[in-house]
Amino acid sequence: MNTMIPAQESGLVSIKALDREIQIEYSLISPHKQDADLIVFLHEGLGSASMWKDWPAQLCEAAGCRGLVFSRYGYGSSTPRPHDEKWPIDYMQDQAREALPALFEALGMQDEKPILLGHSDGGSIALLYAAMYPDAVRAIIVAAPHIFVEDISVENIERAREAYLNTDLPQRLARYHDDPDSAFWGWNDVWLNPEFRHWNIESYLNKIKCPILAIQGVDDEYGTLEQIQGIKRIATHAKLCIIERCRHSPHKDQPETVINEAVKFIHGLV
């Protein structure tokens, strides 16, 4: 089991989704604050519950919220992906449509209206969930989300593949995943599938009713600012936060800035 972020409760929960039964690793932050808003943290394409480290706990404390941090199928200490299994092109839609509702139900949270905070792939899943279940979300915060595929994304995912094959990247990922091959190749193979170049979720965005805060770093190596500007053009109520001296992981590169912007946004919800 990977080392989890500081939390009052953590463990594994069984869900039925994606045509299988899956064990999902999770941590609850301040579960005793029953009347506080719940922030659900959705990790990136190579992330996990433990890779967030203590940043979710810092944000929850600053915002006065509870938190749920978990590892998706194939990541962290959740059920690993069989190595011969290829993710479908619409795997993020599947996560939003099936896996996330199943997790909420398994944890007894199906009647909550959480704030979703997603990074990268997790941001895309947050957008999709808010579009598919518009009355089930209080607000979403998305950091470096993808709404379509850009050349810069594919080029750097190709570089990640070379790094995984030729450097100590597998050993470094093993700090956060019980099976780093499960996590890496599931993500890398689908993003480098030529069919994935046509993946696009712009058609979902006008279905989102809840408030949106979209964050991106100026120096994001996995996407241009067109990603969040594209959100704003379609979901015109979205608020944008563009951060200087920041790459693809705003909560790592500029943690205090992201916490401040997120707290301001959360406290402004009505």
In the chain, domain spans: 9-267
Q: How far is it, in rounded angstroms, from Cα 32 to Cα 54?
A: 18
- Chain segment 99-140, per-residue pLDDT in tens: 999 999 999 999 999 999 999 999 999 999 999 999 999 999
Residue 270 — very low, low, confident or very high, per pLDDT cuts 50/70/90?
confident
CA 128 to chain centre: 11
Sheet containing 38-42: give its strands across: 9-17, 20-29, 66-70, 38-42, 115-119, 139-143, 212-217, 239-243
CATH number of the 9-267 domain: 3.40.50.1820
Q: What is the mean pLDDT of residues 242-263?
A: 98
- Chain segment 187-218, per-residue pLDDT in tens: 999 999 999 999 999 999 999 999 999 999 99
Question: Which phi and psi (to 5°) does residue 53 adopt?
Answer: 60, -135
pTM score: 0.96
Q: What is the mean pLDDT of residues 78-97?
A: 97
Q: What is the mean pLDDT of residues 168-176?
A: 98
